[in-house]
């Protein structure tokens, strides 16, 4: 089977459409960055407190909001998170609510506020928010099974079982202590029914980032992105010629701007993993560009008489099936990651999904036409019309080895 056999599309003839398309997306993104949502930095970069809570049944956001108000938290962001069936809620506090002196104060206030929505159960511990070591401590002090010397180890094993049962089979929230019957020994369950209750929520995940770390990471992320682009420029300069490197880096920069612009337009948080995805894209979207450039260089030597625009067109067409297939296959896996990879990686995989599409487009519609534009500019200015195509010594060496 073959797709795209012997295509003969005049890509360069459509350069104005490409330019318009790229401009619309970059400008829309930039407008959103500067005038609308800004760069929607996540908690990693701007600091703040995030508490992810899972409820036993459909969470009542109004009730949660009221509890947070009573606790004196200034307009926390409260929203549903993930699939509706998971009953999860994200409570987020801004940086100013996260004090340097007591970093976890906001988290504690949130948890206490949630506890306050529960009916008071004097003196009892909440099974859904108790870790295995606390359960072990409790069992040791109660000793319901009258164990002798290795009580600590045995109770730890039981505590671990309870923890596993709760987390792996019930997603972290049990509805009653009685559910433990059959999981833990009867004496243990009987004792725990006396001293534990089950609240209707469990804290799944907490992220607290102080302002200092956030600022530092922002700087690091910016540098890493610039280093990455710089690294690509140098590598392509070394392997091809400077103008090829410039073309590829402009295309990459274009991809990065559009991807970040998309996040701004959608107002999706840019977290550390999103930056990781963008850095990966800088490396990956270089691949298609290299495939096209490689062919352009080969064809410039073969087809000396033809105009550069024709050579570039021919090269894009010859490698079109490669470009589409490689990107398409990677896109398949990334799409699978986006659909099935879970909520934690959603931002990361979204960046990859957008980035791979844009990256493939830009290697055809930005990187290759850049070479033609450069040559036209040169010939206009200096009356010379050659694009450096001489294979550098490095390339010959690699070829010889292969």
Partner 1 sequence: MTKNLTAKVLIIIAVLIFFLFGIFGIPKSFTPAGLLASLQERIHLGLDLKGGTHLILQVQVNDAINADSDRAIERLKDDLKAKNIAYAEITKPNPQQNPELISIKGIPSESIGEFRSLVADRLPDYDLASGPENSFTLTMKPSIVKDTKTKAQQQAIETIRNRIDQLGVSEPVIQEHGLGDYQILVQLPGVDDPARVKEIMQSTAMLEIRQAIGGPYTSEQEAMQANGGILPANAVLMKGKNIGATGQQNSDQYWIISRASAVSGSDLRTADAGRDENGRPDVKFTLTGEGGRRFAAFTGAHVGERLAVVLDNKVMEVATIQEQIHDEGRITGSFTEQQTQDLSLTLRSGALPAGIKYLEERTVGPSLGADSIRAGVRAALVGMIAVMVFMLFYYKFAGINADLGLFLNLVILLGFLGFSGATLTLPGIAGVILTIGMGVDSNVLIFERIREELRHGKTPPQAVDQGFKHAWVTIVDTHVTTIVSAIILFLFGTGPVRGFAVTLSFGLAANLFTSVFVSRVIFDAILNRHQRGEALSI
Of residues 110-169, those binding partner 1 (CB under 8 A):
131-134, 163, 166-168
Does 39 help bind partner 1 (rule: CB under 8 A)? Answer: no
Site string for partner 1, 60-79 (x = CB under 8 A): --------------------
The smaller minimum CB distance to partner 1, of residues 64 and 248, is found at 248
CA atoms within 13 Å, Cβ hemisphere of 109: 23
Q: How far is the CB of 21 from partner 1 (least distance, A)?
A: 25
Give the one residue of 273, 374, 378, 389 binding partner 1; rule: CB under 8 A. Answer: 273
How far from 400 is each of 293, 299, 351, CA to CA, in Å? 20, 20, 39
Give the one residue of 9, 24, 339, 385 binding partner 1; rule: CB under 8 A. Answer: 339
Least Cα distance to 126 among 171, 177, 167 occurs for: 177
Give the one residue of 39, 145, 147, 224 binding partner 1; rule: CB under 8 A. Answer: 224
CB 189, CB 180: distance < 8 Å: yes
The C-alpha atoms of residue 233 and residue 231 are separated, in whole angstroms, by 5
The H or E element that residue 89 is part of is strand 88-93
Which segment (32-40, 175-183, 203-211, 359-367) binds partner 1 by CB under 8 A?
Answer: 203-211
The C-alpha atoms of residue 395 and residue 398 are separated, in whole angstroms, by 5
Which segment (61-69, 253-261, 330-338, 376-384) binds partner 1 by CB under 8 A?
Answer: 330-338
Alpha-carbon torsion 287, 289, 290, 291, what sign? positive
Q: How far is the CB of 40 from partner 1 (least distance, A)?
A: 19
Give the one residue of 186, 332, 385, 390 binding partner 1; rule: CB under 8 A. Answer: 332
Q: Which two tokens stand for residue 71?
A: 């606790």
Least Cα distance to 190 among 124, 129, 145, 128 occurs for: 145
Does 302 help bind partner 1 (rule: CB under 8 A)? Answer: no
Residue 156 DSSP SS3: helix
Does 204 help bind partner 1 (rule: CB under 8 A)? Answer: yes
The C-alpha atoms of residue 387 and residue 244 are separated, in whole angstroms, by 10
Does 373 help bind partner 1 (rule: CB under 8 A)? Answer: no
The smaller minimum CB distance to partner 1, of residues 63 and 133, is found at 133
Does 382 help bind partner 1 (rule: CB under 8 A)? Answer: no
């Amino acid at each position: 089977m073959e797709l795209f056999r012997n295509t003969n599309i005049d890509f360069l003839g459509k350069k104005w459409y490409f330019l318009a398309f790229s401009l619309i997306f970059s400008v829309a993104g930039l407008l959103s960055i500067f005038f609308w949502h800004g760069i929607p930095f996540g908690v990693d970069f701007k600091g703040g407190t995030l508490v992810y809570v899972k409820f036993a049944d459909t969470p009542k956001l109004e009730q949660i909001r009221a509890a947070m108000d009573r606790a004196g938290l200034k307009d926390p962001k409260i929203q549903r998170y993930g699939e509706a069936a998971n009953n999860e809620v994200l409570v987020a506090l801004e940086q100013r609510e996260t004090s340097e002196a007591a970093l976890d104060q906001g988290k504690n206030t949130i948890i206490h506020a949630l506890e306050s929505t529960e009916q008071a159960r004097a003196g009892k511990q909440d099974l859904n928010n108790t870790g295995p070591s606390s359960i072990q401590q409790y069992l040791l002090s109660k000793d319901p099974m009258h164990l002798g010397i290795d009580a600590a180890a045995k109770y730890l094993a039981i505590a671990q079982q309870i923890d596993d049962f709760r987390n792996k089979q019930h997603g972290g929230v049990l509805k009653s202590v009685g559910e433990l019957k059959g999981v833990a020994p009867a004496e243990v369950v009987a004792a725990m029914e006396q001293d534990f209750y089950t609240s209707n929520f469990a804290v799944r995940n907490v992220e607290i980032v102080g302002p200092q770390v956030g600022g530092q990471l922002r700087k690091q992320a910016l540098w890493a992105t610039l280093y990455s682009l710089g690294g690509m420029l140098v590598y392509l300069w070394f392997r091809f010629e400077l103008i090829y490197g410039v073309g590829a880096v402009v295309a990459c920069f274009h991809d990065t701007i559009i991807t970040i612009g998309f996040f701004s337009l959608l107002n999706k948080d840019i977290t550390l993993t999103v930056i990781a995805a963008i850095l990966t894209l800088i490396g990956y979207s270089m691949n298609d560009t290299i495939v096209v450039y490689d062919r352009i260089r080969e064809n410039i030597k073969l087809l000396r008489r033809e105009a550069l625009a024709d050579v570039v067109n021919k090269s894009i067409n010859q490698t079109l099936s490669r470009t589409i297939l490689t990107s398409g296959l990677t896109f398949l896996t990334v799409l699978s990651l986006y659909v099935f990879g879970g909520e934690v990686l959603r931002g990361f995989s979204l960046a990859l999904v957008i980035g791979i599409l844009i990256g493939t487009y830009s290697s055809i519609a930005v990187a290759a036409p850049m070479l033609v534009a450069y040559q036209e500019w040169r010939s206009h200015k200096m009356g010379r019309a050659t694009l450096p195509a001489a294979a550098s010594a490095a390339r010959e060496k690699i070829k010889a080895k292969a």
